[in-house]
């Protein structure tokens, strides 16, 4: 796992990459959550949040955001962007580490949605299955994931 961390640290430190969310995420959020009466009460967790493009989008739309990212550099860039754009009020918590372990930091039935955009595949099948099982417990009844 340490070699994976080194790879992501190098990417996030040296690349201006990952500033905008993918259209399928925007579509998913718009379809499921744009009609929420109080978006600031909609808790959304991203696994593998990288440099924060998706969290930035969610914060701009008024949702309460949470993230788990393996790379400290990715988290620092996320915080810098959110704070510089006046979006810090939307930050719930963004934590560093392996999300198999760090997902336990959150209460069961807490999230309205849990998103993962191309990070879960970096884990073995057995580990990915364990992560998904933990995530299901963290979703509110009727919560969604992408």
**pLDDT by 10s per residue, the chain, length 146:** 556 667 666 666 666 666 789 999 999 999 999 999 999 999 999 999 999 999 999 999 999 999 999 999 999 999 999 999 999 999 999 999 999 999 999 999 999 999 999 899 889 999 999 999 999 999 998 776 55
pLDDT at 142: 77
pTM as predicted: 0.87
Closest by alpha carbon to 116, among 75, 72, 146, 71? Answer: 146
Contacts of 103-108 with C-beta under 8 Å, sequence gap 24+, read: 103/47, 103/68, 103/131, 103/134, 103/135, 103/138, 104/134, 106/45, 106/66, 106/138, 107/138, 108/137, 108/138
- The CATH number for 88's domain is 3.40.50.150
Which domain range does residue 82 map to? 2-145
Q: Give the total number of structural domains in the chain.
A: 1
């Amino acid at each position: 796992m340490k070699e994976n961390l080194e790879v992501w640290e190098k990417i996030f430190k040296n690349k201006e990459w990952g500033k905008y969310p993918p259209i399928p995420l925007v579509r998913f959020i718009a379809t499921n959550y744009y009609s929420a009466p109080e978006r600031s009460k909609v808790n959304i967790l991203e696994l593998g949040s990288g440099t924060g493009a998706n969290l930035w989008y969610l914060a701009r739309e008024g949702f309460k955001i949470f993230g788990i990212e393996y790379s400290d550099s990715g988290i620092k860039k996320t915080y810098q962007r959110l704070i510089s754009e006046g979006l810090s009020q939307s930050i719930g918590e963004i934590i560093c580490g392996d999300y198999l372990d760090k997902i336990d930091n959150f209460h069961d039935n807490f999230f309205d949605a849990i998103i993962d955009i191309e990070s879960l595949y970096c884990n073995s099948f057995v580990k990915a299955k364990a992560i998904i099982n933990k995530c299901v417990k963290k979703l509110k009844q009727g919560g969604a994931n992408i």
